[in-house]
Amino acid sequence: MALVVCGIVLALLHGLSHGIDYQAMVHALRHTPNRLLAWSVAATALSYLALIARDVCALHYVGARIPGSALLLGSFCGSALGNAVGFGALTGGAVRYRAYGAVGVQPDQITRIMLFITAGFGVGLAAYAAASAVLASTAIGRLLHLPAEGLRLGGVATLASVALTVLLCGVRRAPVQLGQWQIDVPGAGLTLVQIVLTGVDLVGAAAALWFLLPEGRVDFASFSAIYAAATALGVISHVPGGLGVFEAVVVFALGNRVSPSLAAAALLAYRAVYFLLPLILAGVLLAVYELARLAGRATGATERVLRGAGLLAPIYLGVFTFAVGTMLIVSGATPAFGKRLAALHDLLPLWAVEMSSFFGSLAGVLMLFVARGLFHRLDGAWWLALVLALANLFLSITKGLAWDELAVISFFILMLLVTRREFTRPASFLRQPFTVEWFVGIAVVLAGSSWILFFAFRDVAYTHDLWWHFEFDEQAPRALRALLGMAVLALVLGCAQLMRTASGRVEPPTVEELGQAGRIIGEQGRSEAMLAMMGDKSFLFSGSGRSFLMYAKRGRSWVALYDPVGPREEWHELIWRFVELADEHGGRAAFYQVRADSLPFYLDAGLKILKLGEEAIVRLSDFTLQGGRWQGLRYALKRGEREGLSLELLTPEEAERRIQTLTRISDDWLSERRAKEKSFSVAAFDPSFIAAQSVALLSQRGDPVAFASVMTTDQRQEATIGIMRHTTTASPYAMEFLFTALAQRLREAGFARLSLGMAPLAGIGRTPLSSRWHRIAGLVWEHGGRVYNFQGLRTFKNKFHPAWEPRYLAASGAIGPFVALADVVVLAGGNKT
């Protein structure tokens, strides 16, 4: 789709470019009055102040209070990156997750913040366009050849709809129930403020471009409608920043009022003022925070904000590196200024200028590849970016005295040096994997630069002899050679990546590895990690040997179960190593049943997140069975006692001695259900695995009828139910009695938590704003009872009044999470790789 959209945009620009003279455009751009640039910068500042104020409203809406430094970091940097990269909601959400999450804002609150901002922008954009249509319907009608009366009526109808929306928000007090989701209505006042702030944002952004247009050619009200339409189409196109689509709409709509050459010059200046300048200021802000963090004097909330800034540095450097690479590529495809080349004529030999132009363009291509390594925090990518930037300090001068490039590259070097300690992952740039999407992005940049080259030199007649012309004033041949070099280099690097061999072989754990994993498990508090001792999963240990990941492979899916086990400070490196391990073998990395507090690790690794369900955690300190809410469990205990039920908690040694009894119960359970043993994320009956745990054995009038294995660690903080089995003759109250009595025993033994396991698809609601996954999951939850008793499982666990904690799947790729989830189902069903 990206390639198709790119082709459509280039076709539109080609049609519009017939009225644009390149030299006239460059002349107009260079002679833009400083007064108008200052007004454009002021309008840009107004727009970004409104964006920050929108975040203040959104934070008030979700009831979150954060320091001003965190607000500036999340709102301003998020907006700057979102505008530059495109996909503002997605990019802004990732930035806010790191900035706001660092000071305690919860993930669900950040999701609501982004929904509130996105919805407010949509309604505000509609109101802004409608107001412009009403105020300047006659002028807009003449400009776009549309009936003024129709524009006015459409604008009034849209404004009436917006007013009705605000009114409904004021009338509605109770939350709106959409499936299992509750959406709090923001209220009329907050909704109106958000719409007004969106209008101020759009006024500032439109004015930033309007000031750069030739004076007196089009009034601001008319231009506002054009700007709103161009913005909306740019958003709908999903092209990063609306690049090309936005420009095409503006140039077309201005028609004969503004010369296409002058309009193109204004648009280029606007991109620099409204997009590049805030991006540079965001880098300055990150640099200031990083220097403050290096000073090491911050404490409390300030320290957390600075840590959040450190998490943003790789994202920012990756974006800026891609932008610098694009700048160098476009520079190689466009002619240098004649006076600057003339100045070099007496200072440098021709070969120096030729080589500088050629290698500067190649450096731009390498920058596009290096950007991905910076996203991944690779130290090898950092060093290569620094070397390329330092080389281009020299090349920018020798190829044509490109002082503007020199300034941008100098700032880039400064940012690299300031953020050095964020890039410490010992991995080579050449070993990093690339996705198809990344190659598409690079292809789009090269295609765009090719179009720019032929547009800039369209007055030069093409002949085969052009390739062999070497003169100071022969810039078209120089650009052609640079373009060919860039294309060849990109093709070579792309083929080298796509043709990498991958074995994908996964070895089972050795006895020594199982012993090492067991020691690590005993030293931490999460009892679910005991599933590693089943022996059906491979291990990836940290460099220190103090932590590990357990994983299995099916097809191209490399699936790690749970978060890493061990000290939290080693999780980041382990997660990255696992992602790279999967990528090196041509697979997708996935992390199954990870917790909410660990999501930043997976977001930093560029993974997509899906909610799987919720895990039932019984707080044993509250498990007293006193009061009305525990009436059902008290009845189950009394009824079980009347039926002769009794519980015995076996130690591992006792469980090993009675393994035949446990085997008999398990075989009866499997035979009744015609099932086979599970694996991976589900505990299986294996004598060696069962004998390594405590077992709750339930007897009915002295005859064992049910059992549940209890996974614990040496810390004795948390217990997790492993495998559960019962015979066909057991009482209907057997399992309810077993869990209730077990919870009482564990509470008396000093345990704080008892995990009853996850309820799949629980807590995944469907709303009009939900993702497709949430809608599908909601339908399965409601109507999938014939396949799996989703609701019945949650209802049973709800009897114990647990705290429901969300669990997620993190996976790489656009459809990777869904494919990985299907592979997890197969793995859990007992199927091998």
Beta strand 548-554 with 557-565: parallel, antiparallel or unpaired?
antiparallel
Is the pLDDT higher at 421 or at 170?
421
Q: Is the per-residue pLDDT at 773 higher than 60?
A: no
Most confident of 150-154, 428-432, 739-743: 739-743
420-434, 523-537, 659-673: segment of lowest average pLDDT: 420-434
Q: What is the DSSP string of 234-298?
A: HHHHT-GGGTTHHHHHHHHHHTTTS-HHHHHHHHHHHIIIIIIHHHHHHHHHHHHHHHHHHHT--
Question: What's the CA angle centered on 164, arms 163 and 169, to 5 degrees?
Answer: 100
Domain match, 407 and 529 both: no
Q: How far apart are CA 594 and CA 574, in angstroms?
A: 14
Q: Is 212 helix (H, G, I), strand (E, B) or coil?
A: coil
Give the model's pLDDT for residue 52. 92
Domain match, 602 and 621 both: no
Q: How confident is the model at residue 783 (pLDDT cuts 50, 70, 90)?
A: very low
* 327 CB-near residues (< 8 Å, 6+ apart): 364, 405, 408
Q: Is 635 helix (H, G, I), strand (E, B) or coil?
A: helix
Domain match, 480 and 576 both: no
In a domain, 18, yes or no: no
Q: What is the DSSP string of 515-555?
A: HHHHHHHHTSS-GGGGGGGGS-SEEEE-TTSS-EEEEEEET
Q: How far apart are CA 204 and CA 224, in angstroms?
A: 10
Are 84 and 319 contacting, i.e. CB atoms less than 8 angstroms apart?
yes
CATH number of the domain that 563 lies in? 3.40.630
Longest dimension (CA), the chain: 106
Question: What's the CA angle centered on 725, arms 722 and 730, to 5 degrees?
Answer: 140
CATH number of the domain that 722 lies in? 3.40.630.30
Q: How far apart are CA 569 and CA 565, in angstroms?
A: 11
Give the model's pLDDT for residue 316. 82
Give the model's pLDDT for residue 769. 41
Please name which of 440, 433, 590 lies closest in space to residue 500, comparing C-alpha atoms: 433
CA separation (Å) from 203 to 51, 125, 263? 12, 10, 19
Residues 650-661: what's their mean pLDDT?
A: 88
Most confident of 1-5, 100-104, 371-375, 791-795: 371-375
Q: How confident is the model at residue 551 (pLDDT cuts 50, 70, 90)?
A: very high
Among residues 498, 530, 559, which one ends one of the domains? 498
Q: Is the per-residue pLDDT at 767 higher than 50?
A: no
In a domain, 368, yes or no: yes
Sign of CA dihedral 333, 336, 342, 346: negative
Is the pLDDT higher at 413 or at 145?
413
463-477, 530-544, 571-585: segment of lowest average pLDDT: 463-477
Give the model's pLDDT for residue 368. 86
In a domain, 532, yes or no: yes
Domain match, 734 and 758 both: yes
Rounded percentage of the chain residues whose pLDDT exceeds 70: 82
In a domain, 62, yes or no: yes
Q: How far apart are CA 45 and CA 277, in angstroms?
A: 10
Give the model's pLDDT for residue 38. 93
Query: For the segment 70-117, what is each residue's pLDDT rounded down to a tens digit?
Result: 888 888 888 888 777 765 545 666 777 777 877 778 877 887 888 888
Could you list the residue range(s) of the whole structural domain that residue 382 is in?
298-498
Burial 282-321 (b: 16+ CB within 10 A, else e): bbebbbebbebbeeeebeeebebbbebbbbbbbbbbbbbb
Is the pLDDT higher at 290 or at 183?
290
Q: How far apart are CA 383 and CA 386, in angstroms?
A: 5
Domain match, 323 and 458 both: yes
Beta bridge partners of 709: 695
In a domain, 289, yes or no: no
Domain match, 566 and 473 both: no
Q: How far apart are CA 329 and CA 446, in angstroms?
A: 8
Report the 10 Å Cβ neighbour count for 92: 26
Beta bridge partners of 695: 650, 709
Q: Is the per-residue pLDDT at 777 higher than 50?
A: no
**Residue 623 in tokens:** 């498990």
Query: For the segment 291-347, what is each residue's pLDDT rounded down to a tens digit?
Result: 777 666 655 666 777 776 777 788 888 888 888 888 888 888 777 766 776 777 777
Q: How far apart are CA 93 and CA 121, in angstroms?
A: 15
H or E element at residue 609: strand 608-619
Please name which of 729, 693, 686 lies closest in space to residue 709, comparing C-alpha atoms: 693
50-54, 170-174, 606-610, 691-695: segment of lowest average pLDDT: 170-174
Give the model's pLDDT for residue 53. 92
Q: Is the per-residue pLDDT at 448 higher than 80?
A: no
Residues 693-704: what's their mean pLDDT?
A: 89
Residues 559-563: what's their mean pLDDT?
A: 91
Q: How far apart are CA 131 and CA 224, in angstroms?
A: 9
In a domain, 25, yes or no: no
Give the model's pLDDT for residue 790. 53
Long-range CB contacts for residues 387-394, cutoff 8 Å, separation at least 24: 388/363, 389/324, 389/413, 389/416, 391/359, 391/363, 392/328, 392/360, 392/363, 394/356
User: φ and ψ at 219, to 5 degrees?
Assistant: -75, 160
Give the model's pLDDT for residue 780. 42
Q: How confident is the model at residue 241 (pLDDT cuts 50, 70, 90)?
A: low
Give the model's pLDDT for residue 37. 92
Q: How confident is the model at residue 174 (pLDDT cuts 50, 70, 90)?
A: low
Give the model's pLDDT for residue 9. 67
27-41, 349-363, 502-516, 688-702: segment of lowest average pLDDT: 502-516
Is the pLDDT higher at 241 or at 547?
547
Q: Is the per-residue pLDDT at 831 higher than 70?
A: no
Sign of CA dihedral 701, 704, 707, 712: positive
Domain match, 589 and 657 both: no
Domain match, 655 and 722 both: yes
Q: Is the per-residue pLDDT at 624 higher than 60?
A: yes
Q: Is the per-residue pLDDT at 778 higher than 60?
A: no
Give the model's pLDDT for residue 435. 64
Side by side, which strands form the sheet with 718-726?
Answer: 538-541, 548-554, 557-565, 588-595, 803-811, 608-619, 753-760, 718-726, 703-711, 694-700, 645-650
Among residues 589, 607, 625, which one ends one of the domains? 607
Q: Is 22 helix (H, G, I), strand (E, B) or coil?
A: helix
H helix intervals, 749-783: 772-783
Q: How confident is the model at residue 240 (pLDDT cuts 50, 70, 90)?
A: low
Long-range CB contacts for residues 572-575, cutoff 8 Å, separation at least 24: 572/601, 572/604, 573/425, 573/542, 573/543, 574/540, 574/542, 574/547, 574/548, 574/549, 575/549, 575/601, 575/602, 575/605
In a domain, 824, yes or no: no
Please name which of 352, 611, 615, 325 lies closest in space to residue 472, comparing C-alpha atoms: 352
Burial 340-375 (b: 16+ CB within 10 A, else e): ebeebeeeeeeeebbebbbbbbbbbbbbbbbbbbbb
Give the model's pLDDT for residue 42. 95
In a domain, 280, yes or no: no
Query: For the segment 475-500, what is each residue's pLDDT rounded down to a tens digit?
Result: 777 777 777 777 787 777 776 665 55
Beta strand 588-595 with 181-183: parallel, antiparallel or unpaired?
unpaired
The mean of the pLDDT values for the chain is 79
Domain match, 461 and 347 both: yes
Domain match, 595 and 634 both: no
Most confident of 197-211, 241-255, 256-270, 438-452: 197-211
Domain match, 624 and 713 both: yes
Q: How far apart are CA 530 and CA 508, in angstroms?
A: 17
Beta bridge partners of 632: none
Q: Which amino acid is at 322?
A: F
Q: How far apart are CA 99 and CA 92, in angstroms?
A: 10
Q: How far apart are CA 751 and CA 782, in angstroms?
A: 35
Query: For the segment 271-293, what is each residue's pLDDT rounded down to a tens digit?
Result: 889 988 998 888 888 888 777 77
Is the pLDDT higher at 555 or at 323?
323
Domain match, 429 and 342 both: yes
Number of domains in the chain: 4
